[in-house]
Homo-oligomer: A and B are copies of this chain.
């Protein structure tokens, strides 16, 4: 069947239960802990003595994503991944998710299947089971609510409140790329709306756009830390930007901190693109957010365990609370660090 002959099915043709049946087909559980999955009033999970870890996120069209440039499959993938990231940030293993959708009448069954393809891929890549959800209609935009459930052995859980003065502050990967990917997509949308015949300029931006549209949760980092027997003293995932996220660690641990500007990891692509946009690259890295890297603190004597082994950066250290939260510039000057990350209510 050619693209132009492709049939679209209105959701009303299937009804709520028919739709749920269709969308949740092919989500066979892979975890032994998934006792009862989709299809009852609730899911049943058995962690056999381990702790249950629960995290939830709400994604709203027009706030968290723009369907003009967000492929539905990517959106489904990202909706799952951002939740799993919270579970990894507890040093725990995600095992199940629930996924609820509110959709406007413009959505077809095929569009939802596209979204669920992304959910399915995320479930496969991270070995989690879709065990429930709720599907309803929306007066306006698309709403996605995901709850992730995981397991952990009690003494392996890492909270935000365990850092002590002197602990080193580490971050995985690089920062600011997702924010720049978003800026590119927004720019191309504006250009497209004004000049629909102009080809988009996204050739050198693949990495940045992918970081925004299809982020990964750092499952590999959690596995690696376990392998080298390094338990962080505190940990959080980078969703709002490290300037905001490090403050959560400081507030809950009762510490201050110093971040060294020169040590903050920025990819070459992100650095160049920031300059193109006339933004200071360090601002993107500190405040951009949505990197889904892991920001964690370790005892100073554990530094050798990380040496040369993996893509981690030691970007500063925890201090006494009285010293405040500071950024040490490349020139050695001290500036108070301000959380300018995503704030949906003051933006």
> Which residues in A have some Cβ–Cβ distance to B below 8 Å?
11-12, 14-16, 19, 35-36, 39-49, 51-58, 60-64, 86-87, 89-90, 92, 96, 98, 100-102, 131-134, 136-141, 143, 145, 147-150, 152, 154, 157, 159-161, 235-237, 252, 343-346
Give the residue name and chain of the B residue nearest to A64 (CB).
Answer: B136
- Cα A48 to Cα B148 with chains together (Å): 20
Cβ–Cβ contact B45 & A53, under 8 A: yes
Give the residue name and chain of the B residue nearest to A35 (CB).
Answer: B51
Give the residue name and chain of the B residue nearest to A102 (CB).
Answer: B60
Cβ–Cβ contact B49 & A49, under 8 A: yes
Cβ–Cβ contact B55 & A41, under 8 A: yes
Most buried by B among A44, A148, A150: A44
Number of copies: 2
Give the residue name and chain of the B residue nearest to A85 (CB).
Answer: B41
Q: A317 to chain B: closest CB distance in Å?
A: 22
A-B contact sample (5 more), CB < 8 A, given A44-B157, A57-B100, A149-B149 = A42-B86, A45-B53, A54-B132, A60-B102, A147-B147
Chain B residue numbers with a CB within 8 Å of A157 are 36, 44
- Cα A345 to Cα B133 with chains together (Å): 16
Cβ–Cβ contact A137 & B55, under 8 A: no
Chain B residue numbers with a CB within 8 Å of A45 are 51-54
Q: A87 to chain B: closest CB distance in Å?
A: 6
Q: A265 to chain B: closest CB distance in Å?
A: 21
Cβ–Cβ contact B139 & A12, under 8 A: no
Chain B residue numbers with a CB within 8 Å of A141 are 139-140
